[in-house]
Amino acid sequence: MTILVSYSEIALKSRYVRNHLERSLAQDIVNLLRRHGYENAKSHRRYGRIFIEGVPNEAADIVRKVFGVANVMPSTKVDTGYEAVLDEIVNEAKREMKEGEGFAVRPKVVGEHDFDSRDLSYEGGSRVMAALKNRNIHVDLTKPDITLYAEVRDKEAFIYSQIVKGVLGLPYNTQGQAVGLFSGGIDSPVAVWMLMKRGVGVLPLFMDQRPFVGDSYVERAITAFKHMANYVPRSSYKLYAAPMGDVMQRITETEEPRFTCVMCKRSMYRIAEEFAKRYEALAVITGESMGQVASQTLSNMYVLSSSIQLPILRPLVGLDKIEIEDIARVIGTYNLTAKSTEGCKVVPEGPATRSRIEIIEELETDLDLVALCKEAAAGISVIAEA
């Protein structure tokens, strides 16, 4: 068995960039397969395709999760002889077609052969009809229930009928690294996944706000992280945590509690920026969505962004909660992150929705928050690995 992989955006790049991205994608596929126990997985590139060998066709469900993959086609490889190709088209039909279904044969012949696509289409259809006449099948070239594909190359041919949609995007970590604020709620895994999909390598950072949140808050984050690790084409993946309890305690001493959430989030950004310096990460990723909560108004986002020099990437900013939840369901994190946990104990009754930088900076200076954030960043450690 051979799994064929196609890509979309990579094909639009210059020759040099395309070659680099193709190599990265091929290696990522093998890495993720081996991460899931397929130690014999191997890949090679030809004809604008990536070919995966040494794995069963069921592994297509893993391959489709690799960032940069457009389509996955579990196939059977045969030689390019006319009869060999036709025989396998019939075999594929026997395996996949059900009673009364309509089908089409879609061959593609590349290179020099003593037959062309029209020959395979006509003769393949005739032989399938003859072989499966007891199933009452029929030809349907408009909306077939099953399409039988045959890709005939120079020295080998691939027959398949299933095309599994991939996640698209660019190969992981080909665009640089960023720190992803990872709370384990519904939003942050989606934000992290969306930037991973664009080729960003993500260092997930959890802000441990205990004792102002419960242990269930931490447990939920670890559970969500372990699921997200299934998308990362590396042999291991780590979740980091910053001890933020002292920072939170100091924020509770403010004379302006309505700014608690803004100062808390600015502190998270500062800690993330310090952490980013260790790994030369180029940005901070957050799960903020415009207007979703009090700290995520445009006015407050402006104030939040002024707290650090690194760019802040907000992939969810234009999505509403329903759209975010839909993506969470697609990537498999919704049921893990929708679980209720003990909420933050310092959220004010009337949080500010329109903050001013000069006021916030004065409050932070009085509380000496910048120094505390550096201390918290120095205490960052790994709390989970998958």
Q: Collect all residues with Cβ–Cβ distance below 8 Å to 261 and sequence separation of at least 6.
A: 293, 294, 295, 347, 348, 351, 352
Q: Which residue has the tokens 């005739």?
A: 126
Three-state DSSP class for 386? Answer: coil
Q: For the domain with range 2-165, which CATH number is right: 1.10.10.60, 3.30.2130.30, 3.40.50.300, 2.40.30.10?
A: 3.30.2130.30
* Beta-ladder partners of 152: 109, 157
Q: Collect all residues with Cβ–Cβ distance below 8 Å to 135 and sequence separation of at least 6.
A: 97, 98, 99, 100, 101
pTM value? 0.92
User: 334-373: per-residue pLDDT in tens?
Assistant: 999 987 766 677 777 778 888 899 999 999 999 999 999 9
Cβ 158 vs Cβ 50: under 8 Å: no
Tell me the two tokens of residue 196.
Answer: 């991973």
Cα 141 to Cα 198: distance, rounded to the nearest angstrom: 36
Backbone angles phi, psi at 315, to 5 degrees: -65, -15
Average pLDDT score over residue span 111-131: 96
User: 265-308: per-residue pLDDT in tens?
Assistant: 999 999 999 999 999 999 999 999 998 877 789 989 999 999 99
- The superfamily CATH assigns to domain 177-385 is HUPs (3.40.50.620)
Indicate the helix (H) or strand (E) that contains 312. strand 312-313
Q: Where are the domains of the chain?
A: 2-165, 177-385
Answer with the residue of higher pLDDT: 89 or 9.
89
Dmax over Cα atoms in the chain, in whole Å?
Answer: 85
The pLDDT assigned to 342 comes to: 67
236: left (phi over 0), alpha (psi -120 to 50) or beta: beta
Cβ 209 vs Cβ 248: under 8 Å: yes
Evaluate if residue 203 carries a pLDDT over 90.
yes
Q: Where are the beta strands (DSSP E) in 110-216?
A: 138-139, 146-152, 157-160, 164-165, 177-181, 201-208
